């Protein structure tokens, strides 16, 4: 019986070494598997058997080796730090990505952006000033105005399209968050079932940890593990997984008639993100890519009714305060105000009389809206067939132009004179339309009069109030400036570049922190090929030694049983 017992001890060593080889092999085979955590076999000596006693103490015989557990080598503190910093990193990375896209839409300062079109418009205005009644100069001026306004419309349409793209990303992110919540709950159940007998469901734990890493990219994550190995998970300070219960996200329209959606909780329909406070690192509100998507997109397209209060997160502070505005809406409204100022200067200055076939009649406005309010339509253009002669028609047409110009400068229409809804007056683009450009000031016979054009150049270069007179500004308005049209746009582009650079710098700082923590995690939980090969040799030698002992014991027993 002693020999049989000895054989059992040797077999225990054989099994322990075999299990060690299996664990080492699994580590090596998953060395490059994302989310895999290095596993380690713990062993301990089995209980001793008392076979007698002596003056020096008990006489004992060992019963071999036992396998304690297969554990993961993981730093839970590093995991929490990684997820906390990853949340912030993804907020700034997403904001920087949005700013980069906006910069590419504006195509400044080295591409064919609005600034280049402004320079061309300015140059053609100067040429027109030298020869006001020249056909080529008038046509070139109208063409430059047309190119400028088309570029402005293109920028606005591109920004709106990008908002649509961000809205699609919000929908996709919300869907993925719900999937993660459900999967975490499923892994909770699997881990609890598999660990009920004291084992470790390491592969399931790896999968759950990987999901937590991913969820942290979308928003703030907190969790605690209970005695049955399930975690209670919170996302953005709301419990989303608690034992057998989950709380999911739903999508709700941001505002009436807006095409955009925002995430709300399925239980109480409240917003997941209460975007009514300034975003800052000090307040730890700069969390997650989903919030960044909402901040970048805004709640609606900027339109004629959008105010700075609609764009500010906290309307008690300026939208120019870092972290206090929706990104695209702020840029869009500033761009709208700028183009509106350009249109006003051109329309209100070149309001003289035309030349040629239009001599003596009021010149038509240069820029007009594509669409007008349904409840406030423009004056009806007279039809030549309705008049007894051309002279009577000309009188009616001249009055129409005056009424239409007054209509365009009315408060109801000014809000419609924004990029995306602007065009060069179609009458100027018609054959002979250049005659309708209102360059003549007083004397209809003086077709070479350049006083109106000189006035336009002066107004173009004069400093004006942005975004309006200081006394009229609300607390949420941008910081007051008094600069010329060209200087305002240059500062506008510079501000966008600086804001994007700020997000990039913060993202770079956080990336360095996240990479450092991840390296610490990898140093502990990652698989080292050299280390695992060392373990493999150790277990291989142990296996060979145990196998050799079994062979020797087998030979001894064969001799005793069969040959003696």
Integer Cα distance of 221 and 234 in angstroms:
6
Integer Cα distance of 160 and 139 in angstroms:
32
Find the mean pLDDT for residues 117-131: 95
Q: At what angle do helices 327-349 and 289-297 cross, to 10 degrees?
A: 10
Cα separations (Å) of 369 from 16, 364, 377, 515?
83, 13, 11, 52
Integer Cα distance of 145 and 425 in angstroms:
10
pLDDT for res 362: 84
The strand pairing partners of 368, in sequence order, are 423
How does DSSP classify residue 66? E
| pLDDT tens per residue across span 253-286 | 999 989 999 999 999 999 999 999 999 999 999 9
**Does 2 have pLDDT greater than 60?**
no
| pLDDT tens per residue across span 48-60 | 766 777 777 777 6
Residues 232 and 226 sit within 8 Å (Cβ to Cβ)? yes
Query: How far is it between the farthest Cα atoms of the chain?
Result: 144
| pLDDT tens per residue across span 339-394 | 999 998 999 899 888 888 888 888 889 999 998 888 888 888 888 788 778 888 88
Give 52 or 306, the one with higher predicted confidence. Answer: 306
Closest CA to 249 of 288, 209, 213, 306: 288
* Residue linked to tokens 């349904």: 374
Cα separations (Å) of 490 from 432, 467, 487, 497?
35, 15, 5, 11
| pLDDT tens per residue across span 446-456 | 889 999 999 99
**Does 69 have pLDDT greater than 80?**
no
Integer Cα distance of 348 and 365 in angstroms:
8
Q: At what angle do helices 289-297 and 135-194 cross, to 10 degrees?
A: 160
Give 163 or 340, the one with higher predicted confidence. Answer: 163
What three-state secondary structure class fits 192?
helix
Integer Cα distance of 499 and 397 in angstroms:
50
pLDDT for res 525: 72
Q: Give phi and psi for 425, each to the nearest 5.
A: -50, 120
Provide the whole-model pTM: 0.86
Q: What is the CA radius of gyration of the chain?
A: 38
Residues 213 and 86 sit within 8 Å (Cβ to Cβ)? yes
Residues 174 and 249 sit within 8 Å (Cβ to Cβ)? yes
Find the mean pLDDT for residues 65-75: 72
Neighbours of 473 (CB within 10 A): 17
Give 371 or 234, the one with higher predicted confidence. Answer: 234
Closest CA to 115 of 499, 495, 486: 486
* Residue linked to tokens 């955590």: 37
Q: For residue 105, what are the contacts with CB-CB under 8 A and spacing of at least 6?
A: 155, 158, 159, 162
Residues 143 and 128 sit within 8 Å (Cβ to Cβ)? no
Beta strands (DSSP E) in 11-114 are: 39-45, 48-54, 57-62, 65-72
pLDDT band at 63 (very low <50, low <70, confident <90, very high): low
Closest CA to 291 of 311, 317, 269, 263: 263
pLDDT band at 1 (very low <50, low <70, confident <90, very high): very low
Q: Give phi and psi for 225, each to the nearest 5.
A: -95, 135
**Least confident window among 73-87, 227-241, 533-547:** 533-547
What three-state secondary structure class fits 422?
strand
pLDDT band at 18 (very low <50, low <70, confident <90, very high): confident
Residues 241 and 248 sit within 8 Å (Cβ to Cβ)? no
Residues 201 and 71 sit within 8 Å (Cβ to Cβ)? no
**Does 67 have pLDDT greater than 60?**
yes
Integer Cα distance of 480 and 483 in angstroms:
10
Give 250 or 1, the one with higher predicted confidence. Answer: 250
pLDDT for res 376: 81
């Amino acid at each position: 019986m002693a020999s049989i017992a000895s054989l059992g001890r040797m077999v225990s060593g054989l099994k322990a070494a075999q299990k060690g080889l299996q664990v080492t092999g699994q580590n090596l085979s998953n060395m490059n598997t994302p989310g895999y955590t290095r596993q380690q076999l713990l062993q301990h000596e089995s209980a001793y058997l008392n076979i007698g006693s002596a003056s020096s103490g008990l006489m004992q015989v060992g019963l071999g080796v036992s396998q304690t557990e297969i554990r993961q080598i993981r730093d839970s503190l590093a995991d929490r730090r990684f997820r906390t910093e990853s949340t912030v990193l993804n907020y700034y990375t997403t904001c920087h990505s949005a700013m980069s896209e906006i910069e590419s839409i504006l195509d400044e300062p080295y591409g064919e952006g609005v600034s280049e079109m402004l320079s061309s418009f300015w140059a053609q205005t100067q040429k027109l000033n030298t020869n006001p009644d020249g056909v080529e100069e008038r046509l070139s001026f109208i063409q430059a105005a047309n190119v400028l306004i088309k570029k402005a419309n293109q920028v606005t349409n591109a920004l709106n399209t990008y908002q649509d793209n961000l809205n699609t990303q919000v929908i996709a992110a919300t869907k993925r968050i719900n999937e993660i919540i459900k999967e975490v709950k499923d892994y909770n159940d699997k881990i609890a079932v598999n660990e009920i007998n004291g084992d470790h469901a390491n592969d399931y734990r790896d999968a759950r940890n990987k999901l937590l890493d991913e969820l942290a990219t979308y928003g703030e994550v907190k969790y605690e593990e209970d005695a049955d190995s399930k975690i209670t998970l919170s996302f953005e300070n709301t419990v989303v997984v608690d034992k057998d219960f989950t709380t999911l996200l739903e999508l709700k329209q941001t505002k009436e008639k807006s095409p955009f959606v925002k995430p709300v909780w399925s239980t109480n329909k409240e917003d997941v993100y209460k975007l009514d406070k300034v975003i800052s690192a000090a307040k730890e509100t700069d969390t997650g890519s989903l919030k960044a998507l909402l901040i970048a997109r805004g709640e609606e397209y900027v339109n004629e009714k959008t105010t700075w209060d609609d764009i500010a997160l906290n309307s008690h502070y300026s939208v120019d305060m870092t972290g206090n505005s929706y990104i695209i809406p702020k840029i869009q409204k500033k761009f709208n105000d700028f183009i509106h100022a350009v249109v006003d200067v051109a329309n209100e200055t070149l309001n003289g009389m035309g030349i040629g076939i239009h001599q003596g009649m009021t010149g038509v406005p240069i820029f007009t809206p594509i669409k007008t309010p349904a409840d406030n339509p423009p004056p009806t253009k007279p039809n030549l067939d309705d008049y007894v002669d051309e002279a009577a028609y000309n009188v009616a047409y001249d009055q129409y132009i005056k009424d239409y110009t007054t209509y365009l400068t009315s408060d109801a229409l000014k809000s419609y004179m924004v990029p995306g809804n602007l065009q060069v007056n179609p009458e100027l683009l018609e054959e002979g339309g250049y005659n309708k450009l209102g360059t003549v000031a007083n004397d209809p016979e003086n077709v070479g009069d350049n006083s109106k054009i000189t006035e336009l150049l002066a107004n173009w270069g004069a400093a004006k109030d942005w975004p309006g007179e200081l006394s009229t500004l609300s607390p949420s308005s941008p910081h007051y400036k008094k600069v010329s049209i060209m200087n305002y746009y240059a500062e506008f582009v510079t501000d966008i570049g600086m804001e994007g650079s700020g997000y990039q710098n913060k993202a770079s700082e956080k990336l360095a922190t996240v990479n450092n923590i991840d390296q610490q995690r990898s140093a502990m939980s990652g698989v080292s090929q050299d280390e695992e090969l060392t373990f493999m040799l150790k277990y291989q030698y142990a296996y060979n030694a145990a196998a050799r002992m079994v062979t020797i014991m087998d030979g001894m027993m064969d001799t005793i049983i069969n040959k003696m």
